[in-house]
Amino acid sequence: MLSTKPKHMLASLVDTLKSQGLSSHNIVYQASLLAAWSWCFQHRPELGLPAPKDRPGITLAMKAMREALDTAVGSSNMDTGFLEMNCTGRAVQELQEKTAHLEWPDAESLIKELANLAEQTLGQQAGEHTLPLKLAELMVALGRTAEKRVIAAYHRGDLLMALSDRAAERTYVSQSHTLLSEALVLICGASMVSKDRSEQLLHAEVVLSAPPMGVKVLYSESSGKQRSRRSDAVGFQEAYELATSRAVVLLPPGTLYDMAEYALREELVSDNVIDMVIQMPDQTLLGTTIPPVLVVLDKKRQQGDFITFVDASRLMKDAPTKSSKKLQLRSDFWEKLNQVVINPINEATCRQVSQSEIESNDFDLSVNRYVMGIATQKINSQESIHPLSEVAEIVRAQTLKGEGGEDGKLFIEIGGRDIDVSGQISIQEPGKELNVAGRTRKRAEQQQLRPGDVLLISKGSIGRVALVGNNCGNNWIAGQVFFILRAKEHIVRPEYLYRYLSSPMVQQYLEEIASGTGIPILKANDIKYLSVPLPSLQDQERVIDVHHQIMEEYAAIWAHQKKIEELSQQHWPI
């Protein structure tokens, strides 16, 4: 006897399709089309689909749906004879019998079942084709789509279109789409427009957009000039231009601080349309570890309205540490996030920010600039603080390439691998040698190291610090990953500055403010304005005494290690 529960019925369809050796993608697509057939027969009689209980039916139904899609979409990807060509006659009959018993209380239930089917069957590959259900529901809620004309943009926008069930009108805009997308279009009675024909679209009140991330595209400016841009930034701008009321855009975090998109961010902030920025955790999307960002635009904001920044990743810290449950299935996380979005008063998770504060941050919209971590709060609460640029000369090391010449000189470039556990420079053999001349030599000499210099890594292993000692060679230069901090010794001692920068508080602070996803980066301004407490030189000596004690302990450790190595060689040496 067939179950009357939709989950079980879809599972039964999937079992039959699996038995025919179909790929995971084809299983999802064909199950979606069969579900659409059942739904549309019951709820969209204008399509004229045959009854699932009548035979022969599957091919006729697919042809009728194809005709309906050709009208709604312009052209369909459906192969109407796929099941009869790839399944046995018995399996086709079984699929039709199961389709005849499918029934859902409403379209939303069916859409959610199809979304779950895609996630469960395709696994990590689902991220290439559709959004996680919970994320899509959040985006629709943020869009406030009820009784509005809605555009859902790009191929992963099909679920956004489908879930906007209270919208007055829905249009799915994408240059490419899947059979799952076509099934959702049929179920919802939505229209679909190819991305390359989207210029013909009228503006919509709400735009929901999930553009591809990080793909280089050629973008035409209003002046007619073309330039290379990332696809996510282009999608961001399109959403802003097409929406007359609200837009919700899913982006990689780089779009919020990338200098290439400075002008776009400046325009959006100046026009007072940014309403909310939500940093999602790194488990949000399937198939990638990039933690995405949701940006909400609102063209109905009042002058002086604050912009809400939300760090949703902090909601994960309240969860049990041993929980292995996927984020998509963590109902507790999504419930907390929805509460924060509706009532953003939790200072640990979100913050209301003025337009002027964003302007002072060079229109950087990164959430960690505004929702402060514990270390950031501690640093800002210190007394008698000064920006690092007031207490030290800051030299940013540049990339150098070796080149010969009459005035050539050999330098040894210090890298992160040359910093030992005690924060001293211990060159790992062989050292990186550069023979440079001419202008390159002058640049090399500008980043030549001296005893007392403090080195800070700004890219990759951010925050690692070294204090250059008296063993510094007369031809050592800093590699490109470093800032050279040259203490103004009449107000701050190098050992004090080194010990402060290597402290747990500053190290955590640097992690909190770092930009970048795959490779973290510290911006030059972040280093320039890093708060440094500045006691008297006499008070600094107490910190320096602790520094000397720490170095003595390291010396004792190395002496013990050397003794252990000597003892281990007493018997059976090689």
| pLDDT confidence bin for 126, thresholds 50/70/90 | low
Residue 543 pLDDT > 90: yes
Single out the residue of 291, 277, 342, 281 nearest to residue 316, CA to CA: 281
- Identify any residues that bridge with 350 across adjacent strands, giving them in sequence order: 310
pLDDT value at 509 more than 80? yes
Provide the mean pLDDT of the chain.
Answer: 88
> What distance in Å separates the CA atoms of residue 315 and residue 337, rounded to the nearest whole number?
7
Q: Is the pLDDT of residue 125 over 90?
A: no
Nearest Cα to 258, choosing from 287, 232, 284?
232
Q: What would the mean pLDDT of 541-568 be, rounded to a whole number?
A: 95
- Lowest mean pLDDT of 51-60, 152-161, 352-361, 544-553, name the range: 51-60
Identify which of 57-61, 244-248, 310-314, 569-573 has the greatest average pLDDT.
244-248
Residue 10's pLDDT band (cuts 50, 70, 90):
confident
**What DSSP string describes 158-223?**
HHHHHH-TT-SEEEEE-SS--HHHHHHHHHHT-EEE-GGGGGGPPPEEEEEE-PPSS-EEEEE-TT
Cβ atoms of 147 and 53 within 8 Å: the answer is no
CA 207 to CA 274: how far, in whole Å? Answer: 14
User: CA 112, 114, 116 angle in degrees (round to 5)?
Assistant: 70
Dump pLDDT digits (tens) for 463-507: 999 999 999 988 899 999 999 999 999 999 999 999 999 999 999
Beta strand pairing call for 432-436 and 454-457: unpaired
Would you say residue 266 has pLDDT above 70? Answer: yes
Instruction: Indicate the DSSP class of residue 445.
Output: H
Over residues 44-70, the mean pLDDT reads 87
**Would you tell me how many other CB atoms lie within 10 Å of the CB of residue 71?**
11
Q: Which residue has the higher pLDDT, 324 or 163?
A: 163
Q: What single letter denotes the amino acid at residue 222?
A: S
pLDDT at 162 over 70: yes
Count other C-beta atoms under 10 Å from residue 283's C-beta.
Answer: 17
Q: Residue 253: its pLDDT value, please?
A: 92
CA-based nearest residue to 180, from 110, 261, 115: 115
What is d(CA 291, CA 282) in angstroms, rounded to the nearest whole number?
4
181 has a pLDDT exceeding 50: yes
pLDDT band at 352 (very low <50, low <70, confident <90, very high): very high
Residues 338, 297: Cα–Cα separation, whole Å: 18
For residue 251, how many other CB atoms are within 10 A of its CB? 23
Q: Which of 272, 513, 467, 254 is nearest to 370 (CA)?
A: 513
Q: What's the pLDDT at 108? A: 92
Q: Is the pLDDT of residue 533 over 90?
A: yes
Binned at pLDDT 50, 70 and 90, residue 298 comes out as very high
CA-CA distance, 441 to 408, in Å (whole number)? 7
Output phi, psi for 240, to 5 deg: -60, -40
Residue 537's pLDDT band (cuts 50, 70, 90): very high
* Confidence grade of residue 7 (pLDDT, cut at 50, 70, 90): low
Q: How many CB atoms lie within 10 A of CB 179?
A: 22
Task: Give the list of residues 6+ apart from residue 11 with CB closer than 8 angstroms, or none.
Answer: none
pLDDT in the model for residue 321: 45
Q: Which of 384, 412, 392 is nearest to 456 (CA)?
A: 392
Whether the model clears a pTM of 0.95, i.e. scores above it, the answer is no
The β-bridge relationship of strands 482-487 and 454-457 is antiparallel
Residue 124 has pLDDT above 70, yes or no: no
Distance between CA atoms of residues 299 and 273, nearest Å:
5
Residue 293, strand partner residues: 251, 279
Mean pLDDT of 392-399: 92
DSSP state of 423: S
Q: What is the predicted pLDDT for the residue at 5?
A: 54
**Rounded Cα gap, residues 325 and 259, in angstroms:** 37
Higher per-residue pLDDT: 53 or 240: 240
The position carrying tokens 């320039």 is 528
Assigned token pair, 413: 């470039």
Which pLDDT does position 159 carry in this prediction? 92
Whether pLDDT at 427 is above 90: no
Tell me the HSE value of 445 on the side-chain side, using a 13 A CA sphere. 9
Whose tokens are 């994960």? That residue is 316
Tokens of 175: 């240059």
Tell me what pLDDT residue 13 has: 92
Task: Decide if 193 contacts 173 (C-beta within 8 A).
Answer: yes
pLDDT tens by residue, 189-211: 888 887 665 455 578 999 999 99
Model pLDDT, residue 1:
44
- The span from the CA of 18 to the CA of 124, in Å, is 19
pLDDT of residue 507: 94
In the prediction, which pLDDT does 8 show? Answer: 60
Cβ-contact 230, 218 below 8 angstroms: no
Contact in structure between 507 and 373 (CB atoms under 8 Å): no
Residue 368: closest CA among 387, 386, 350, 388 = 350
Query: What single letter denotes the amino acid at residue 465?
Result: V
User: What pLDDT is recorded for position 323?
Assistant: 46
